[in-house]
Amino acid sequence: MDRKCDGSFDCPDKSDEDKEDCKMVQIPKGYMKTVPPERSNQEKEHPDSNKTVVAVKIRLVKVTAVNELNMEINTMIRVFKSSINK
C-alpha cells in the first residue's frame, strides 16, 4: 500500500495507479475559500433547511518526513467526502 497512487506503476495490471482512485484535487483559478457555495433552489425556497451535512474521512497513506527540530511532519493522505443536503 505504500506505493499506491505514488505516480509509478508497481503492479503488473497497473491497478495501483487507477485514475479514479488517484485523482489529484484541482482548485480552479479564482477559487475563494472564504466564500460559501451558492445556495440551491431548494434552499432558497426553504430557508430553514439551508444546512449541508458534510462527512469527511481522511486516511493517512504514509508519513514522508519528520522534522523534530521544527515540530513538522509531512504526510500523504487520501480524503473522502460526501455531502447530504437536509
Which comes out higher in pLDDT, residue 31 or 66?
66
> What is the percent of the chain where pLDDT is above 70?
81
pTM of this structure: 0.35
Which comes out higher in pLDDT, residue 12 or 42?
12
Look at residue 12 and tell me whether its pLDDT is greater than 60.
yes
**Looking at residue 10, what is its pLDDT?**
81
**Looking at residue 64, what is its pLDDT?**
93
HEC assignment per residue over the chain: CCCCCCCCCCCCCCHHHCCCCCCCCCCCCCCCCCCCCCCCHHHHHCHHHCCEEEEEEEEEEEEEEEECCCCEEEEEEEEEEEEEEC
Rounded mean pLDDT, 58-86:
86
